[in-house]
Structure 1
Amino acid sequence: MRILLLFLSLFVLTSSFGQNQCKRADRKLKKVEKHIVSGAHDDAMKLLLKIERTCDDSFFNCAVGDIYFMFQEFTKSYFFYLQCYAFNGLIDFNTLSLSNFLETAYLTGNYNVFDEVINCDDFNLNITANTYLDKLIKKNNFAFHQKKDSVFFAPVLLSINSDKDEYFPSMPIDTTIIIYTYRNKDLKFQDEDFYISRNQNGIWSNPQKLGDNINSDYREGSLSVSLDGQDVFFASCHRPDSYGGCDLYYSTLINDTLWSQSYNLGSSVNSKYWESQPSISADGNFLFFTSNRDGGYGGSDIWMSRKYNNAWLNPVNLGPFINTSSDEATPFLHYDNQTFYFSSKGHDGFGGFDLYVTHMDSLGNIHPATNLGYPINTHYDESGLIVARDGKKAYYNADISGDLNIYSFNLPDKAHANSVAIINGLVIDSISRLGVQADIFIEDLNHVNSYHLNSDHLGVFSFIMPIESAFSITVSSEHYNFYSENYSLGKEEYVKDLSIVLDRLNIGNKIDLDNIYYEFDDFSLKEESLIEIEKFANYLLVNKTIQVQIEGHTDNIGSEIYNYKLSEKRARSVYEALLNFGVPSRQLSYRGYGYSMPLSNEDTEAARLKNRRTQVKVIGSYE
C-alpha cells in the first residue's frame, strides 16, 4: 500500500514539473519512476544519483525524498524533505510525504525539527489520524526531552577492533577472553565468523579465528560464552542440519584452543523461523535468544528456554514489558540473575536500536524497561550489551566512528546490576584427597538466589553470589557423610576459594546440621530450617541403607531437666520433618542430650552458641 501511494505521489509531482519549468528534472524523475514500477531498483537508484537539480522546487524535493525513503536512505531522504519544508512550509507535502518527513527527522536524530513541524499551525490539515504516527510522536517527544537530560558517557574503543566490523561481544565472568563476531564488509559476500582474543595482563592479544568446529562455510551470527568459559552457544545459518534459516548451536571446550564439534540444540529450541543472538544464564539453566517465530508480538522477539533434566524445554515469550510490535534483540541476563539488558526498536527511544535495562524477580516477574539514556543511545543502532561482574562496566557495539566496533564504558547508576563474586569450590575425599562427584545445593540466606549443581569428576565446581552476602552450602554424595556449612562474602571479595572435605560413611560419624533454627526457648522449627531438612532428607533417600539418630543439644542456661526435655522435643521436631519429606521411619530415631555433651566448656555466648546444635549420628545399616 505504501509503495502504491508512492507511485501516486510521483505521478502527481512529476505532472507538476512542466508548469514549474523543471522539465529536465521531470524527464529524469519519470525514468526513475519507470524503473521502480518495473522492479529495477538498482537502475532507479543509479539514475537518481545522476539527477541534477535545475530548479528550486519543493515538489521535486518531496519526490526525491520519497524515493530515497523507499530505499531506506533516510539521511538523504531527510535532506530533500527538509529542502521542501524550508522552501514552502507544509503546503506542498501530501500525507505520505509528511509522514515520511517526520520519520526521517526522528531516525536521523533531528528531534527539534520534528517537534517544530508537528507544532506548525497547518500540521493537522496535512495529516489524518494515524496510529503509527501517534507512536512516532510519542517516541520523538521522549527523545527530544531526554536528550537534554544526558548521562555521563566516555566510551573506550577496544584494541581488538579493526577497520572492518566487530560486534556482539561475549565474555566469561573472569574476562580472560572475549569472543565476538567479525565481518569483512569490503567483500561482496560478507561472511561472519567468530574471533577470540585473550586478556594478557590487561592487554588484549591479537584476535584469532575461534576454530573450524564452530566457524564454518556457513554464516555464523552471534555467540554467548558460559560463566566459566567452557561452553558456547551460537547462531549459524543454513547448515545442513538446520530446522530453518538460522539455528542455535552448542560447543564445549576440549582444551585451551580446541572446541568440540558443534551440535544443533534441536527442535524444542529451533524452528522453521529465524533464531539468533543466544545468551546463556550464569547457572546455565536458562537460554535467552531472539526469534521471529509465530506467537510473538511482531518483528523479532526475545524468548527463553529452560533446561530441565539436561534437555531444553519449549521456549516462552518474555512478554510485553520487553517485546513490542517492532524488533527486539541481543538479550543479556547479568550474573546477579535479576538485571536484564536488551536492545529494541519498539520502546520509547532515540531511533534505531536502543539499549534498555529491566529487572526480573525470583518469581520470574518482569518490570517495565528503562532506556539507558543519551548519549549511550543515539539515532544510530546500539546493541550487543554485556555487563561485567561488578555490575558497572559494560561492553557493547556501535558505529560511533563510522565502523561497527566494540566499546567499553561505565553504566549510569540507574542501569547498574548487583556486584557478584565467583566462588570456586573443590570437593575431595578426606583419605585419598581425590576429587569427588557430588550434588551441591547453594542457598542465599537472604533467599534471593539458589542453585543446584554438581561437581565434576575432579570435584571442581563454581557458582556466583552477590558480594556482602551470606550463603549455605550442602554437599551430598553416595557413601559419604552429609556436609553443610555457612559462608559469607566481604565487600571487596570478588573471588572465594572453598575446599570441602568429605568423610566416608562410617558408623559413629557425626554430621552437623548448621542451618536448623528454632523459635526462642521453644522446639518449633523456624520456616527457614525446612530448607536444610529437605536437603538432608534427599541425602537419606539416596543413601537408603543407613540408619541415623537425630541428636538435640542445648547450652547450660536453665535446669538440667528442662534442657533435656527441650533438646528431646527439638530432636523430635527434626525427626517428624524428615518423615514428612518421605524418609522411611526405619532409617530414623531421635534423642535429646541436653547439656551433657558440650563442645566447649567456656562461659561465653560464643561457646553457648556452639553448644546449641542439632547433630546427626550414623548408628548403623539395615543391609
Structure 2
Amino acid sequence: MEKTFVRSGLCLFFIVMFFVHNPIYGQRKKKKKAEPQNKEQKDSGLKVSEFEPTAINKVVRLPGLKFPNINRIPYYRNDKALAQIARLERNKQWAEYREVLYTYVTSFGIQNFLRKEDMDLIWRLANVSEHEGDRALAKETYRLLLRHYRGDFSRALKHYDELVLFEKPLYANLEDYYRLVDKRALIDTLTPPEDVLVDMGGYVNSQFSDYGMTLGGEEQNRLLFTSNRSGRDTSAFNRQFNPSHANEDIYVSEKTEFDMWGPAESFDAINTKYNEGSPYLTKDGNTLYFIRCMTPDGYGDCDIYVAKKDAEGKWGEPVNMGPGINSYAWDSHPSLSMTEDTLYFASDRKGGFGNSDIYYSVKKSDGSWSKPKNIGPFINSRGSELSPHPHVKYPVLYFSSSLGVVNFGGFDIYKSFIVDGNFTEPKNVGPLVNGSGDEYYFAIDSDAKQLYYAKSRVKGDPNLDLQSFPLPMEAKPNNTVRFSGRVVEPTTGEVFKGVVTIIDLSDRVEVAPKEIREDGSFDFELVNEKKYLLVIEGDNFFQIEEIFFVEGDKHVQIPAISVNSSLSFASIDFDPGSSKLKPEMENNLHLVVDFLVKHENYRLLVTGHTDSDGNSKANLRLSKERAESIRRFLINYGEMEENRVIADGKGDDDPIIYNPKNENEKRLNRRVEFKIFLDEYRISVPVTDDNFEWSED
C-alpha cells in the first residue's frame, strides 16, 4: 500500500435515483373480514434441509436470543417467575436477575410483543445486559425493542446509539457525495457502470402501471410482471371492491438472443376478469404461484393460487392453495426458497406482529404444505413487511419493511442471511437502492448482478415502470468479508472528516459511500477475492486513492496528509541550475491539480528552495523560477484562475539541514514545498499579492 498517494485516474460513479412508490393494487389489502382467534401452531421450525451452513465469517451474526414459543403459543405468562424477577430487581441481584429475565423473555409468544408491560421486560433485559457488560446481547435486545415497542422508545434509542457509536453505518449525504463525484469527473477518466438505471423499454413498460415482477426459468430469461394495461371492462363486482385498480393482469416477456426483453404478452392461460398479480415462476418454468383477488371461491381479500403445466406444456386450471395457506385476510407476494421446498408470502392475518407480516410454509413429503408460520420478531416488526424474495443461489432472504433501525424513507429493502435454519439480523441494503420513497416488488437475478423493480417517474406519480440497474455491493447476497480502516495523520494522530467509497473494479459497481466516524474509522462488507478501488476524500486532507485485493477480512491504517501541512514530493527534483519541469514530476503535480479543482475554496502557495552551493542571490532567483514553472503548469493544466496559485522562492535561506555533509543531505534542502490553505486564511500567507511579480531582493 502506498504511503500517501497512488496515481489518480480510474474512478467510476454510480447514478442513483430515489424510488418513490405507492402501496398498490391487488397486491395490497382492500378490506378486513372477521375471523376467530388463530389456534396454536404445533409444527416445528424451518425445514433444516433448506438452509445448509454456509462458509461466512463475523460479518454475519446469528441472534443470541431465541424465541421457541413463537408459532407454538400465542401468549406467555408465568406469575411465579414475574414475582422472582421483581424480588431480584429490588435486591439488586443483577447477575441472577439477568438470567431469570432472559429465560422469561425468550419464552414470549407473538402477543407478548404487542403488550407494553411485556416489552418493558425486554427493555430491562437490554438495560441489565448493558450494565453487566454483555454488549452483544444489549445491542441485539435494544434493536428488538426498537422494532416492536409501540410507546416512547427514545431512551432505548439513546442507549443503542451509544453502544453502536463506532459500528453504525454512517452513510454519506448523497448530495455532498455527488458533488465530489462531479468534480472528480472533471479531471478523471470515467468509465461509467453499464446498464445504470435502465428503463426496460416499450416492449415491457406501458403508459399504465407495471410492477410486481419475477424472473423465471433456469436461465432467468423470462420476466413475469403485473400490469393494469388491459383496459378491459371489469365486472361490477371488481369495481365495487377495487375501483382504482380493477384490471390487474399478469404479463410475460421473454429475453431475446440480443439480451433484450421482447414484447410483453398477456398471460391468457391465467388471467381472468378478476385481478391477478404477484407471479412467481419456478426454476423449471412449470409451476406458477400468483395471487387472485376478490373471487367467489376465495377465502380473503387476495388468495395465493398455483398453476402447473401438463405433459403437453399447457397450463392447467389454477388451484386455490386452500385454507391451509390462505386466510380470511390478505395473502400475497408468494415466493419459494432456493430449494423450492419452502413457500414465503406476506399476510395481514390476525395474530401477527404488525400490519402485515412474512410467513412461511414447508412442503411435506407427500407434496402438501404445512400450516404457515410467522417468520419471527427479527424479520417482522410492528410495521409492515412485504415482498419476501429468497435468492435462488445464496441462502439470503430479501424483503421490504416499513420499519428498521436503519431506514431511509417508507418501505426499504433489507436482507437476512440464513444460517443453520436461522435468520440473521436484517441489514438495510443501503441508500444506493433505498430512497425517500418506497422500495418493494423487486427481483434479483441468479448471478446477483441486476436488480429489477418498479419506480415512478416523479414523486407521487401512481404510474410505475419497471427498471433495472446493477446490484450495489450492500445488496449483494455474498458480500461477507469485512474491510475496515482508520484514517489518521501519521505523525500527529489527527483524525479527519470525509467520505469513503469503494469501487468494485471487476464488476464496476460502486459501494454506498460512508462518512468517516469520529474516531477516524470506517468499514464495508465486500465480496471476497476481488479487486477494489478505495477513494477517501474530504475538505481538509488530500484525496487518497488505493487499489487493493480482498482475501478475507482486512483492517488497514490509512495515512492522510492534512492540507494545512507543507508537502514536498521526491519526484520534484530539478536538474542543477535548471527550472525546467521534467516528465517524472507530472504525476504528483496532477494530484495537486486534482485537489485544487475539487476544492475551489483552497489556494496553493508553492515555495522553492535550493541548497547552499553557489551564489545566494542566484539561488534565490533560481528557486523563484522553479516555483513559477510549477505554478504555470498547475494553472494551465487545471484551467484555473491566476490567483489560485502563488509562487515564492527562499533560495538557500531556509534549509532543512544546516551544513550538509553529502549529496543526499543537499538534495533534502533542494526542495519545493506546497502549502494549501483555505481562501479566507490568505492574509496569513507570506505572499499576499495575488499578482505576484519577481524581484531581485
Q: TM-score, normalised by structure 1?
A: 0.43
Structure 1 or 2: more strand by fraction: 1
